[in-house]
Amino acid sequence: MKNFQEEKQRDLSINKSDGTNKFLTTDQGLRINDDNNSLKAGERGPSLLEDFILREKITHFDHERIPERIVHARGSGAHGFFEVTTPIPELTKADFLKEKGLKTPVFTRFSTVAGSRGSTDLARDARGFAVKFYTQEGIYDLVANNIPVFFIQDAAKFPDLIHAVKPEPHNEIPQAASAHDTFWDFISLMPESMHMIMWVMSDRAIPRSYRMMEGFGVHTFRLINEQEESVFVKFHWKPKLGTHAVAWDEAQKISGKNPDFHRQDLWEAIEMGNFPEWELGVQVIPAADENKYEFDLLDPTKLVPEELVPVTIVGRMVLNKNPDNFFAETEQIAFHPGHIVPGIDFSNDPLLQGRLFSYTDTQLSRLGSPNFHEIPINRSVAPVHNNQRDGHMRQEINKGRVSYHPNSLGGGCPYQAKIEEGGFASFNERVDAHKVRERSESFNDHFGQAKLFFNSQTPEEKSHIVKALRFELGKVETTAIRVRVLGLLSQIDTTLAEKVALGLGATVPPILETPINKGVSPENEGGPQEPQTVESSVSSSDALSMIKNPTNSPTIASRKIAIICSDGVSEAAVLNMKKALKKEDAKGCIIAPHLGSVLTDADGAIAAEFSFLTASSVLFDAVYIPHGLGLNALAENDDLFEFLNDAYKHCKVIGADGEASEIISSAPFASKITNEDGGIVVNSAIASEEFAQDFINAMTQHRFWQREPNLYN
């Protein structure tokens, strides 16, 4: 079996450097004798220009920063591999998909879209999910998001969308947030964004972890087989851990407590050997079915419901190695949807077509040179030979006098590859058309799938969407913008619009008064581009809901559980729970009023990993209060009640055994607990295995959203 898994690591190793047991040198290799004092005229005198060591050090420092990505600036990544589980040679000749068990190295970067490099991981936003496959046929990039549709249908609107969502230009406020006037002004005039708006107002936009997100290629692509036959395809990543979110209030608190929450979660999971894993699935649409559906396959604001075309799993991706250097790898990696290999091709989706220009272009200003492909993390493991030459920071030393094709002096080399030799040829699609600046009428349905998405949500999820919209529009200062958005929402679901309006103290406008033109200029109003609602042929789809999602998994592997400790805690209870959690690959973390040790009832000592000052409930998935911590031990500790209150508010499992159950019955939320709330696990038995199992069983349900007041009903 061919196994290329380690090939990229071998390739990177030639650029790695480690200063252990080595002399400190200048960039020129000169050993440095004193790195603490600059060269001066006398010990109290001025510095000398001659000090080349000082100049080199400071000059390098002065130029350390490069422009951040114009979008997706904030992100985190890891190495891993992709393995074929079900080859599809009948559909694609792509080498890396052809053979069962074949492993291809990958680097995957997750990101938010709107925020700057240093912004919080927990912003309400789509997440980028970009995978670079170092295949034997060259680089293949699947530059995806965790949401299967996009805001706009044409790349021409991308700069406008991003200008609208980024901090406002006059005062650069707010950072990493869409809750402001310019974003919603744009959206209120772009009805085609409504489907995506439903997704970003849902909990998909506040994932629990990068490891618990789906990924979607968004556009329809093509697969091409050896016979040059083509099918359409949508790409899906399905996380092994299921698709999970945090609560919005929790997200905002995490942003303060640990803005690196997702970055750290990914890093720690990999360090601990809990390697994140996804399945790669494809939805395959025969070429003959191109016009079969009520939506256009080329329209990136539409998805193909899994009820119409099921997802077939073809492989799995495992991320198993953290980068050695964030800048060299995660920051300098350059993705491009136009990096494809034979067997994969584009469709005419106008958003994709524009992307094909944008990504190389942006690397020129971000990485500074057309030689960015030579940066180790971007370097192909397949050999690269061509007549591209020179440019800033060129690494390759091309030999010989020939840098053109055709040539006779170089024997015609490097020579072109025939298709059967792996030469890439674009799919031979017939295009016979007039040049026009127009949008196809088949793109006019702006509400049908927004409705499908909304109707597929559970009551709790609908309530979260209402809450998110109340928050976002509540931050908008211009009343007319809020009202315009309410008008658009009313075309998705009148109750949704009314419930949001209630929170805003506004009234939903009659549909006819809602400006539903293409938004750009008044003379466009009405006419052939009038947005429509085309009812979806699927009325509800479980795959669109996070709670009903078939990818959901009961596992609690890699989850973090806060175990509250204080002097007198039952040692047996703590050890019992820790053991039970470990069996599930979850981690119990000890939190105490202070760092150091707490004394147990058995005269032992347990080390506190966090104090109430350094940890908060929002950083954990559940809370356990062991026996021994009675009311007396913690009566004066307001921090504990705040901890528990947040855990309750964010619908997490709270467990207590023995005497500790008193703490729950005297907590401020005690009166709200109902018998149906399976997330409160109390038991008078101490350190019983049965109790630990009940606690774990409750955790497999992840969140008890039904605790919250429902804003939709």
Residues that bind ligand HDD (CB under 6 A): 69-72, 75, 109, 111, 128, 130, 143-145, 150, 155, 158, 218-219, 300, 333-335, 351, 354-355, 358-359, 362
State in angstroms the smallest separation of the CB of 160 from ligand HDD: 11
Q: Which residues pair with 108 in a beta bridge?
A: 78, 131
State in angstroms the smallest separation of the CB of 303 from ligand HDD: 12
Pick between residue 349 and residue 584 the one whose CB is nearest to ligand HDD. 349
Task: Provide the b/e sequence for 204-242 (b: ≥16 CB within 10 Å).
Answer: bbbbbbbbbbbbbbbbbbbbbbeeeebbbbbbbbbbbbb
State in angstroms the smallest separation of the CB of 219 from ligand HDD: 6
Helix (H, G, I), strand (E, B) or coil at 108: strand
Instruction: Spell out the residues 6+ positions from residue 546 whose beta carbon is closer than 8 angstroms to its own.
Output: 202, 203, 204, 243, 244, 245, 461, 552
Residue, CB closest to ligand HDD:
128
Pick between residue 114 and residue 660 the one whose CB is nearest to ligand HDD. 114
Task: Provide the b/e sequence for 553-583 (b: ≥16 CB within 10 Å).
Answer: beebebbbbbbbbbbbbbbbbbbbbbebbee
Burial class (CB in 10 A: 0-12, 13-18, 19+), 10: exposed
State in angstroms the smallest separation of the CB of 520 from ligand HDD: 17
Pick between residue 69 and residue 649 the one whose CB is nearest to ligand HDD. 69
Pick between residue 145 and residue 566 the one whose CB is nearest to ligand HDD. 145
Helix (H, G, I), strand (E, B) or coil at 265: helix
Pick between residue 158 and residue 267 the one whose CB is nearest to ligand HDD. 158
Pick between residue 364 and residue 393 the one whose CB is nearest to ligand HDD. 364
State in angstroms the smallest separation of the CB of 143 from ligand HDD: 5
Positions marked catalytic? 72, 145
Pick between residue 221 and residue 712 the one whose CB is nearest to ligand HDD. 221
Helix (H, G, I), strand (E, B) or coil at 314: strand
Pick between residue 75 and residue 343 the one whose CB is nearest to ligand HDD. 75
State in angstroms the smallest separation of the CB of 162 from ligand HDD: 8
Q: Which residue type occupies 686?
A: I
Instruction: Spell out the residues 6+ positions from residue 284 whose beta carbon is closer than 8 angstroms to its own.
Output: 91, 223, 231, 232, 233, 309, 312
Q: What's the CA gap between 502 and 498, in Å, rounded? A: 6
Best CA proximity match to 243, nearest among 287, 210, 200: 210
End-to-end CA distance of the chain: 57
Instruction: Spell out the residues 6+ positions from residue 20 whose beta carbon is closer than 8 angstroms to its own.
Output: none
State in angstroms the smallest separation of the CB of 140 from ligand HDD: 14
DSSP summary character for residue 544 = G
Q: How many CA atoms are closer than 13 Å to the CA of 193, on its beta-carbon side? A: 24
Q: Which residue has the tokens 């390739």?
A: 11
State in angstroms the smallest separation of the CB of 75 from ligand HDD: 5
- Are 614 and 596 within 8 A, CB to CB? no
Which helix (H) or strand (E) covers residue 606, if one does? strand 605-608
